Amino acid sequence: MAERIDCDIAVIGGGSGGLSVAAGAALMGASTVLIERGRMGGDCLNYGCVPSKALIAAARHAAHWRQSAKLGIRYDEPDIDFPAVMRHVKDTIATIAPHDSAERFAALGVRVLQAEARFAGPDLLQAGATTIRARRIVIATGSTPAIPPIPGLDTIPFLTNETVFDLTEPPIHLMILGGGPIGVELAQAFRRIGVRVTLIERLTCLAREDAELGSLLIDTLREDGVVLHERTEVTQAENTVSGIVLTLRHADGGIDRIAGSHLLVATGRNPNLESLDLARGGVAADTRGVTVDRRLRSTNKRVFAIGDATGLSPFTHTASYHAGVVLKNALFRLPATADHSLIPRVTYGDPELAAVGLNETEARARHNRITILRWPFAENDRARAEGRTDGLVKAIVSPRGRILGAAIVGAEAGELIQPWILAMQKRLGIGAMQGLLVPYPNRGEAAKRAAADFYRPKLFSPLTRRIVQFLARFD
Domain residues for the domain of 422 are: 351-459
Q: Are residues 172 and 310 in the same domain?
A: no
Note whether residue 358 is domain-resident: yes
pLDDT at 340 over 80: yes
| Mean pLDDT for all residues in the chain | 95
Residue 464, pLDDT > 80, answer no
Q: Which of 332, 365, 386 is the last residue of a domain?
A: 332
Domain presence at residue 450: yes
pLDDT in tens, 3-53: 999 999 999 999 999 999 999 999 999 999 999 999 999 999 999 999 999
Q: Is the pLDDT of residue 322 over 80?
A: yes
The pLDDT of 270-285, averaged and rounded, is: 97
Looking at the structure of the chain, the number of domains it has is 3
297 and 256, same domain (yes or no): no
- Whose CA is closest to 316, among 61, 53, 74, 132? 53
The amino acid present at 411, given as its one-letter code, is A
Q: What's the mean pLDDT in 55-64?
A: 96
CB 313 within 8 A of CB 296: no
pLDDT at 471: 83
What is the pLDDT at residue 409?
98
Same domain, 373 and 248: no
Q: Does 222 share its domain with 276?
A: no
In this prediction, residue 463 carries a pLDDT of 79
In a domain, 337, yes or no: no
136 and 216 belong to one structural domain: no
User: Would you state the pLDDT for residue 242?
Assistant: 84
The model's confidence at residue 175, banded by pLDDT at 50, 70 and 90, is: very high
Q: Confidence class of residue 2 from pLDDT cuts 50, 70 and 90?
A: confident
- Cα–Cα distance for residue pair 261/243, rounded to 1 Å: 5
Verify that 366 and 455 share a domain, yes or no: yes
pLDDT tens string 90-118:
999 999 999 999 999 999 999 999 999 99
Q: Is residue 472 part of a domain?
A: no
The reply to whether 441 falls in a domain is yes
Taking a C-beta distance cutoff of 8 angstroms, is the pair 133, 277 a contact? Answer: no
Q: Is residue 441 domain-shared with residue 315, that is, in the same domain?
A: no
Check which CATH number belongs to the domain holding 206 and give it. Answer: 3.50.50.60
- Would residue 468 count as lying in a domain? no
pLDDT of the residue at 189: 98
- For residues 324 and 188, membership in a common domain is answered with no
Do 302 and 380 lie in one domain? The reply is no
Residue 465: pLDDT over 90: no
Q: Is the domain of 96 the same as that of 158? A: no
pLDDT value, residue 116: 97
Residue 372 lies in a domain: yes
409 Cβ contact partners less than 8 Å away, ≥ 6 residues apart: 213, 214, 216, 217, 351, 352, 353, 354, 390, 391, 392
Kindly indicate the confidence band of residue 156, based on its pLDDT and cuts at 50, 70 and 90: very high
Q: Same domain, yes or no, for 375 and 236?
A: no
In the predicted structure, residue 450 carries a pLDDT above the cut 80: yes
Query: Sheet holding 345-347: strands in order across?
Result: 345-347, 352-357, 403-410, 392-397, 371-376
Residues 15 and 134 in one domain: yes
Confidence band (pLDDT; 50, 70, 90) for 462?
confident
- What is the reported pLDDT for 192? 97
CATH label of the domain that carries residue 423: 3.30.390.30
Query: Is residue 468 predicted with pLDDT exceeding 80?
Result: no
> Looking at the domain assignment, is residue 471 inside a domain?
no
